[in-house]
Amino acid sequence: MAKIATSSSNEWIIKEAVLFFASLIESEEEAFVENDAFAASLTNLLVRITGANSIRLGADTEARVVELAFNITTKIRLDPEVLAAWFKSQQQNGSSESRQLDHREKFAGRTQKQDFPLFYLLMDYIHHEGKVGDFARTGLLYIIEAASSSVLLEQWIVESDLSTLMATGLGALYSQLSRKLVIDYPPNELPPILAFSDYQHPKSNYEIVSSCAVQFQSHLDTFLSHLLFWQDVLNHCRSVEVKSTLLEHFQVIFLQQLLYVCFPRRAVRPPTHTPLDTPLCWSRLMWTAAHPSLC
């Protein structure tokens, strides 16, 4: 079934194959999800249909694919022994280098997609909106939780580029926010002191964006939702080493290299309106970042 779907380049056949595998995973009569041959066949299908050279899947089929990957992580969460069928560490197979990683290699991370393709499939979708992103982020949380009961997985996550991808992804979402922002209020939500004055709403242009703009609010909400995902990861992660690696990358890549550098330019003082004491982005970020390690 997997070979037919991957060679067909037909979305209907691919979708039917995904639904077929999903029914097998949910089957309680046979332990398909623990079978190495089943895991290898399904992994090959998922990698082939989501790869760079695959056909473009429709929204519904794509959601089914990510949901299938999520269902596998749910099985891993319920039974840690299932992990062995889906995670094949090079170190476990005796083919990894014996030397210790230096600090630079450890920080950058070493791509090991062939060890755990399911993990990277979910990583590719964590920044998506809707249920696709929800499935991907929750599935990734379940895998990170599993690191507390697997030393090999814990070390693999530390040496992988998870932390780099998460930190740069958060930085990319932050970079979508306007470089110059002017604080404004919807007409029906003006503070009384402005409502009874001659206040005029500032005009936006290609350079200066109003804080009420729909596009800006959409980008801000997306950025804050992924900041919450960071907090969920830290809250669910019981591995001290994984958590410290994540926080190190958050501090260096996001805080030091991006946020601290961009912060002074994130707001401009409108020439004829009330001065800005604290940029909106910063205040919203601090309200959202409830985890003490991120504040």
Which pLDDT score, from 0 to 100, does residue 56 have? Answer: 85
- Considering the domain architecture, whether residues 120 and 228 belong to the same structural domain is answered as no
2 touches 41 (CB < 8 A):
yes
- Considering the domain architecture, whether residues 9 and 146 belong to the same structural domain is answered as yes
The arithmetic mean of pLDDT across residues 267-291, rounded, is: 47
- Considering the domain architecture, whether residues 125 and 193 belong to the same structural domain is answered as no
226 touches 170 (CB < 8 A):
yes
Which pLDDT score, from 0 to 100, does residue 260 have? Answer: 73
Which pLDDT score, from 0 to 100, does residue 287 have? Answer: 52
Whole-structure pTM value: 0.76
- Considering the domain architecture, whether residues 141 and 222 belong to the same structural domain is answered as no
Which pLDDT score, from 0 to 100, does residue 66 have? Answer: 95
- Considering the domain architecture, whether residues 147 and 20 belong to the same structural domain is answered as yes
- Considering the domain architecture, whether residues 187 and 241 belong to the same structural domain is answered as yes
215 occurs within a structural domain: yes
- Considering the domain architecture, whether residues 23 and 114 belong to the same structural domain is answered as yes
95 occurs within a structural domain: no
- Considering the domain architecture, whether residues 14 and 144 belong to the same structural domain is answered as yes
For CA atoms 38, 143, 120, 239, the dihedral sign is negative
Q: 76, 43, 46: which is closest to 62 by C-alpha?
A: 46
Least trusted range by pLDDT, from 20-29, 78-87, 105-114, 255-264: 105-114
| pLDDT for 72 beyond 80 | yes
Over residues 176-199, the pLDDT tens digits come to: 876 666 677 777 777 777 767 776
Last residue of a domain, one of 116, 134, 160: 160
Mean pLDDT score of the chain, rounded to an integer? 78
Last residue of a domain, one of 115, 134, 160: 160
Report d(CA 37, CA 164) in Å as an integer.
32
Which pLDDT score, from 0 to 100, does residue 81 have? Answer: 92
- Considering the domain architecture, whether residues 150 and 239 belong to the same structural domain is answered as no
Which pLDDT score, from 0 to 100, does residue 275 have? Answer: 33
Confidence band for 206, pLDDT divided at 50, 70 and 90: low
| pLDDT for 84 beyond 80 | yes
Point out which residues pair with 182 in neighbouring strands: 210
Least trusted range by pLDDT, from 44-48, 49-53, 132-136: 49-53
- Considering the domain architecture, whether residues 201 and 155 belong to the same structural domain is answered as no
Domain range for 16 is 2-90+104-160
* Residues in contact with 118: Cβ distance below 8 Å, sequence separation at least 6, in sequence order: 43, 46, 69, 72, 73, 86, 87, 143
Report d(CA 221, CA 110) in Å as an integer.
31
Q: 140, 86, 137: which is closest to 114 by C-alpha?
A: 86
| pLDDT for 94 beyond 60 | no
For CA atoms 142, 143, 146, 148, the dihedral sign is negative
The highest-confidence range among 67-71, 223-227, 266-270, by mean pLDDT, is 67-71
147 touches 237 (CB < 8 A):
yes
- Considering the domain architecture, whether residues 26 and 83 belong to the same structural domain is answered as yes
User: What's the total number of domains in the chain?
Assistant: 2
166 occurs within a structural domain: no
Last residue of a domain, one of 135, 160, 185: 160
- The share of the chain scoring above pLDDT 70, in percent, equals 73
Report d(CA 181, CA 268) in Å as an integer.
6
- Considering the domain architecture, whether residues 154 and 185 belong to the same structural domain is answered as no
Over residues 100-132, the pLDDT tens digits come to: 555 555 544 454 678 899 999 999 998 888 899
The arithmetic mean of pLDDT across residues 88-107, rounded, is: 54
142 occurs within a structural domain: yes
Report d(CA 5, CA 15) in Å as an integer.
8
| pLDDT for 42 beyond 90 | yes
Report d(CA 117, CA 153) in Å as an integer.
13
141 occurs within a structural domain: yes
